[in-house]
Amino acid sequence: MAKARISISLEQDQAERIRQHAERAGMDVSAYMVHAATRQMAESDAIEEQFVEVDALIAQAERAADALPPEPAPEPAVELTEQERREVEEALRLVQGRDRQGRRPGHAA
């Protein structure tokens, strides 16, 4: 099989780290880079294989969603009465855990 040459550019410190790692692994830089890339490709392939069914379900759901008719325009907002506004504010205070004075029960003012 004929070999192909791939040229890459990287920062000097990255190149030095790769040289050091290759040396520790007992490999030349080319073999080390091929090994690292091959490992990464195998990992990516395995991940893609695990999610192939999920990806197919997502694609199916997206196609089904695209086929749905557009949602009707929302009805225009209705202004709240003063009483309704106060009730909403009171409900929000309860949800936020605040009393009528804006304090959280059990906390110093």
pLDDT in tens, 41-97: 999 999 999 999 999 999 999 999 999 998 888 888 888 899 998 999 888 888 888
pLDDT for the residue 108: 56
Confidence of residue 32 (pLDDT cuts 50, 70, 90): very high
- The confidence score (pLDDT) of residue 29 equals 96
Grouping H, G, I as helix, E, B as strand and the rest as coil, residue 93 is helix
Instruction: Flag whether the pTM goes above 0.75.
Output: no
* Number of helices (H), then strands (E), in the chain: 4, 0
Q: Is 100 helix (H, G, I), strand (E, B) or coil?
A: coil
Average pLDDT over residues 22-51: 96
Contacts (Cβ under 8 Å, ≥6 apart) of 8: 33
Give the Cα separation of 21 and 32 in Å (integer). 8
pLDDT value at 103 more than 90 = no
Question: Of 71, 90, 70, 72, which Cα lies nearest the Cα of 80?
Answer: 90
Confidence of residue 102 (pLDDT cuts 50, 70, 90): low
Is the sign of the CA dihedral 15, 18, 22, 28 positive or negative? negative
Written as six digits, the tokens of 55 are 């990806």
How many whole angstroms separate alpha carbon 109 and alpha carbon 107? 6
- Distance, CA of 45 to CA of 62 (rounded, Å): 24
